């Protein structure tokens, strides 16, 4: 434990990772291309397309109609806090011009509904009141704020952050901060830490308070010494302050790990820092761990302390066609065509645009049919990097071949698989469509990092096979579920019909019996005359008795 | 599929790997030419041509692209491996039978590269060994022991016509200076043991040690090539290391048990096809076990069987038989040696 007057050394809270992950690859980094420049902002586009992020079965609703005026940071699509979806806000003052479907740069070419906003001014001021003194705030209020601001995981998966913070399977002890950024080319996290370390630390402390974590572990690769230093300075300042003012603070550690892909995967990072493995089919919360990306933490800080809704993010713009590769603040929904023209990239030279990194991103090819309309594709919350490459590229960014060589079972893929799967066996099973075998061989534990495809000497697009197999298995499962449901419905209907039939039968029997009974009674006194006479006699008799 | 990640690749391709393996065979091949004469070179040329022609022929029949498949170099490698495994003066048509059988039956009929359950080169070799046992064990003596060595021209004549122009046959070249016919050290010792001789008698025979040293040189040359493969990460360490360790250990156990009835472990390690088998044959990825643990089991079992067959079987050497035997077991080994998947306590196959 540190005493009050000890000076704080970096070595007190910086250490090297004690654990390792199996597998992994060391591709060329290409990071120095884009991490040498300070953060800049790109002049905003004229028009934005904001996807509604409404998956089937979701409950969110659109709050604006065509022609509506919207303000910067105004909520235009609302989600519910208990749903896996998130709010969307307008990045600038503007007008809703169109509500339509557009492609989002998904590998499948999927179109999504969304809202077109035409920008009126450059204004993008905060729209929510800042939370003063978050240290005293109620965690649920802070989660509400994070939901309100539309914050999602900015590491790439874009999973709504409020859902992650709300899941209370087990008490969270450790907040792990993912600053690994292990994919080549991408440097937005690196540069963000260099320039906004203090804000990121604040965001981490807010998050730790929300979940009640007693320790914060920051995982960072050893290729980011500047960022590590920036964080360390802020942490030492923070520790100094807490000690002087006698405030309790979570234990904070920076853990530097070897540069290796994919050590930034959530499960891999947990293993690297704690030596623990997330049990199969479980979330990190099962271990009392929450993992957040540093860009997300910055967004949390911004939402809580500045009242800023999430409308922009830092995006790495790089590739051999970008004259000044670097990191730019870009509003969500900015069309690629705008970025291309602002960067001055000649469209005819582009052979490939990659959204995300070269190992897990999606590509837009020159050979695609709708090349020019596709440049309409907007950036999204998950777009952390865009790579623009020409044909004559010294940078090796190649497409998987259409025809690949045969698998020779060399086993290189097994060596690099971080999940310790046997990729080549999964490939044989996927190719022969043996879905059950794939299930048995844990295909679901594949994180699609692409390390296996990267090393495959036969250049087999292994991940494509796995994605296909996964979707096929999912499809089969839903179909099975559906048919089971249908069968159940059919059985229910059959038994219901049978029940109604027997009930009706019973009823009919009953009425028939009753009818028989009255009929029998009627037979004894066919037209009821006898009883009528008797009744009359009785009445006379009664009267007489009264009179006497 | 084109727009599916990842978009970067390691530079090494399958054909490149095959090329490197062929390159790594160079020291061994050169040593074999040096110790056993021109016949080896002629065999390499012949078998390469046979292999490529067989592959092209079947690809044509199967209506598959010929050139891209040939350029993966796998057929070439099979041809060269067979060429290095057969005696230097084997008649041309026998090597043709072996190579064609290897490529057509052991490889292409199963579906080509990647689909063959057995090591094609070893299938071809074993077919020849069983069909032509005399020719397949007719090795030439080491150069310093030989009465006369065939020239390149004589070798060609022997190979294609069965005799040189001055009427010498293969038998004449196998004679030593004292009129004794020479076999490989393994063959030699096997015969000697069956005649009731002891280890000391065998090893003290003046003809034994020069003969052994040429095979030692041969094995060391293949070892050099094998280490090259190992350090360039073309093959994984598990198979060669476990194979050699188990072979040495098993042979040594027998030698310790009775040092007069069994040759010492180091002789087993450096004679016959041990090194070429450990680094070039057993490591054929297609037919070998692929999991790290599986490779250890696979290699160790091959080493064990090599010793057992060498000592107690009917054939002097046993690399081919052992490899083929373990090829059959590969799927089973792989199934039970799967690594522990992330987040599970076992291979995960039980809780599926």
pLDDT in tens, B309-324: 999 988 888 899 999 9
In contact, B238 and B292? CB cutoff 8 Å: yes
Residue A397 scores a pLDDT above 70: no
pLDDT band, very low/low/confident/very high, at B347 (cuts 50, 70, 90): very low
Name residues 107-146 of chain A within 8 A of B (Cβ): 107
Residue A247 scores a pLDDT above 70: yes
* Residue B113: burial class (beta carbons within 10 Å; 0-12, 13-18, 19+): buried
Residue B19 scores a pLDDT above 90: yes
Encode pLDDT of A506-524 as tens digits.
999 999 999 888 888 777 7
Burial A125-150 (b: 16+ CB within 10 A, else e): eebbeebeebeebeeeebbebbbbbb
Element (H, E) at A61: strand A61-62
- B293 at the A interface (CB within 8 A)? no
Element (H, E) at A95: strand A94-103
Flag if A454 and B16 touch (Cβ within 8 Å): no
Q: Cα separation of A114 and A296, whole Å?
A: 23
* C-alpha distance from B42 to closest chain A C-alpha (Å): 29
Residue A77 scores a pLDDT above 80: yes
* C-alpha distance from B3 to closest chain A C-alpha (Å): 5
pLDDT band, very low/low/confident/very high, at B3 (cuts 50, 70, 90): low
The token pair at A88 is 């969307």
ipTM of the complex: 0.84
- B232 at the A interface (CB within 8 A)? no
Q: How many C-beta atoms surround the C-beta of residue A113 within 10 A?
A: 14
Phi, psi dihedral angles at B29 (to 5 degrees): -65, -45
Range list of β-strands (E), A268-355: 289-293, 312-318, 326-331, 350-355
Specify the pLDDT at position A367: 57
Helix A188-211 / helix A225-245 crossing angle, nearest 10 deg = 30
Specify the pLDDT at position A6: 61
Q: Which position has the token pair 């794939």?
A: A438
Q: Which residues lie across from A362 on neighbouring strands?
A: A355
Residue A162 CA, chain-centre distance (Å), reads 11
Q: How many residues does chain B have?
A: 352
Residue B220 scores a pLDDT above 90: yes
Helix, strand, or coil here: B116?
coil
Strands A94-103 and A69-70: antiparallel
Name residues 129-188 of chain B within 8 A of A (Cβ): none
Phi, psi dihedral angles at A119 (to 5 degrees): -75, 140
pLDDT band, very low/low/confident/very high, at B65 (cuts 50, 70, 90): confident
Flag if B352 and A440 touch (Cβ within 8 Å): yes
In contact, B183 and B212? CB cutoff 8 Å: no
- Residues from chain B contacting residue A471 (CB–CB below 8 Å): none
* C-alpha distance from A362 to closest chain B C-alpha (Å): 6
Q: Which residues lie across from A352 on neighbouring strands?
A: A365, A389
The token pair at A154 is 């900015």
Q: Cα separation of A270 and A94, whole Å?
A: 43
pLDDT band, very low/low/confident/very high, at B351 (cuts 50, 70, 90): very low
B191/A475: higher pLDDT? A475
Q: Cα separation of A448 and A430, whole Å?
A: 14
Residue A89 scores a pLDDT above 80: yes
Q: Cα separation of A282 and A287, whole Å?
A: 9
* C-alpha distance from B289 to closest chain A C-alpha (Å): 9
Q: What is the DSSP letter of A406?
A: P
Residue A395 scores a pLDDT above 60: no
Encode pLDDT of A343-361 as tens digits.
888 887 888 888 888 898 8
Instruction: Name the nearest CA neighbour of B244 among B256, B232, B252.
Output: B252
Q: Cα separation of B264 and B247, whole Å?
A: 11
Q: Cα separation of A150 and A313, whole Å?
A: 12
B104/B153: higher pLDDT? B104
pLDDT band, very low/low/confident/very high, at A53 (cuts 50, 70, 90): low
């Amino acid at each position: 434990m540190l005493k009050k007057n000890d000076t704080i050394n970096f070595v007190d809270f910086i250490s090297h990772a004690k654990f390792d992950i199996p597998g992994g690859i060391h591709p060329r980094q290409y990071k120095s291309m884009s991490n040498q420049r300070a953060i800049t902002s790109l002049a905003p586009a004229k028009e934005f397309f904001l996807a509604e992020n409404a998956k089937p079965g979701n409950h969110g609703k659109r709050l604006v109609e065509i022609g509506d005026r919207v303000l910067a940071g105004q909520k235009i699509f609302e989600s519910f806090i208990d749903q896996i979806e998130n709010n969307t806000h307008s990045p600038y003052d503007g007008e809703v011009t169109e509500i339509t479907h557009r492609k989002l740069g998904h590998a499948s070419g999927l179109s999504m509904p969304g809202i077109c906003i035409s920008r009126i001014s450059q204004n993008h001021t905060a729209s929510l009141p800042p939370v003063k003194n978050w240290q005293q705030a109620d965690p649920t209020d802070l989660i509400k704020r994070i939901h309100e601001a539309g914050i999602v995981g900015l590491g790439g998966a874009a999973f709504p952050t409020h859902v992650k913070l709300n899941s209370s399977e087990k008490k969270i002890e450790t907040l792990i901060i993912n600053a690994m950024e292990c994919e080549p080319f991408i440097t937005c996290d690196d540069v963000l830490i260099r320039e906004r370390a203090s804000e990121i630390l604040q965001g981490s402390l807010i998050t730790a308070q929300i979940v009640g974590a007693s320790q914060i572990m920051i995982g960072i690769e050893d290729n980011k010494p500047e960022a590590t230093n920036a964080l360390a300075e802020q942490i030492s300042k923070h520790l100094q302050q807490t000690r002087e003012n006698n405030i309790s603070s979570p234990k904070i550690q920076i853990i530097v790990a070897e540069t290796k892909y994919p050590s930034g995967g959530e499960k891999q990072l947990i293993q690297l820092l704690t030596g623990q493995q997330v049990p199969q089919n479980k979330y990190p919360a099962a271990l009392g761990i929450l993992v957040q990306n540093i860009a997300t933490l910055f967004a949390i800080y911004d939402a809580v302390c500045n009242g800023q809704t999430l409308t922009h993010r830092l995006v790495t713009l790089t590739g051999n066609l970008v004259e000044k590769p670097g990191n730019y603040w870009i509003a969500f929904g900015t069309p690629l065509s705008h970025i291309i023209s602002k960067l001055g990239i000649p469209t005819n030279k582009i052979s490939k645009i990659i959204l995300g990194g070269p190992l897990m991103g999606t590509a837009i090819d020159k050979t695609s049919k709708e090349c020019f309309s596709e440049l309409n594709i907007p950036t999204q919350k998950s777009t952390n990097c865009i790579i623009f490459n020409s044909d004559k590229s010294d940078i090796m960014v190649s497409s998987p071949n259409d025809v690949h060589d045969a698998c020779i079972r060399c086993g290189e893929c097994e060596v690099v698989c971080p999940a310790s799967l046997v990729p080549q066996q999964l490939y044989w099973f996927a190719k022969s469509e043996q879905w059950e075998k794939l299930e048995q061989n844990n295909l679901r534990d594949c994180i699609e990092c692409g390390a296996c495809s990267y090393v495959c000497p036969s250049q087999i697009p292994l991940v494509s096979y796995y994605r296909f197999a996964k979707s096929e298995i999912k499809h089969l499962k839903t179909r099975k579920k559906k048919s089971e449901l249908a069968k159940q419905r059919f059985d229910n209907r059959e038994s219901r019909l049978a029940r109604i039939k027997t009930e009706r039968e019973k009823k009919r029997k009953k009425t028939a019996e009753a009818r028989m009974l009255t009929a029998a009674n009627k037979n004894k006194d066919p037209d009821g005359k006898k009883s009528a006479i008797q009744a009359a006699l009785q009445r006379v008799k009664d009267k007489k008795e009264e009179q006497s | 599929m084109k727009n599916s990640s990842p978009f970067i690749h390691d530079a090494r391709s399958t054909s490149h790997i095959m090329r490197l393996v062929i390159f790594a065979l160079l020291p061994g091949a050169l040593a074999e030419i040096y110790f056993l004469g021109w016949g080896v070179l002629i065999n390499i040329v012949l078998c390469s041509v046979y292999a490529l022609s067989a592959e092209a022929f079947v690809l044509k029949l199967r209506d598959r692209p010929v050139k891209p498949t040939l350029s993966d170099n796998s057929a070439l490698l099979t041809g060269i491996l067979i060429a290095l495994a057969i005696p230097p003066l084997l008649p041309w048509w026998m090597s043709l039978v072996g190579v064609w059988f290897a490529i057509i039956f052991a490889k292409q009929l199963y579906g080509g590269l990647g689909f063959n359950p057995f090591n094609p080169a070893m299938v071809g070799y074993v077919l020849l060994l069983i069909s032509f046992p005399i020719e397949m064990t007719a090795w030439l003596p080491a150069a310093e022991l030989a009465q006369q060595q065939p020239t390149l021209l004589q070798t060609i004549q022997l190979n294609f016509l069965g005799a040189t122009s001055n009427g010498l046959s293969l038998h004449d070249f196998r004679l030593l200076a004292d009129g004794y016919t020479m076999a490989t050290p393994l063959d030699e010792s096997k015969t000697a043991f069956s005649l009731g001789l002891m280890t000391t008698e065998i090893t003290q025979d003046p003809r034994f040690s020069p003969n052994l040293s040429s095979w030692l040189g041969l094995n060391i040359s293949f070892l050099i090539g094998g280490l090259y493969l190992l350090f360039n990460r073309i093959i994984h360490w598990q198979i060669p290391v476990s194979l050699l360790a188990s072979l040495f250990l098993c042979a040594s156990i027998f030698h310790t048990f009775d040092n007069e009835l069994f040759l010492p472990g180091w002789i087993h390690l450096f004679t016959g096809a041990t090194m070429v088998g450990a680094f070039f044959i057993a490591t054929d990825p297609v037919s070998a076990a692929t999991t790290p643990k599986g490779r250890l089991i696979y290699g160790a079992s091959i080493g064990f069987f090599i010793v057992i067959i060498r000592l107690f079987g009917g054939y002097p050497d046993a690399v081919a038989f052992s490899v083929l035997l373990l090829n059959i077991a590969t799927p089973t080994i792989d199934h039970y040696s799967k690594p522990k998947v992330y987040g599970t306590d076992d291979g995960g196959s039980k809780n599926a």
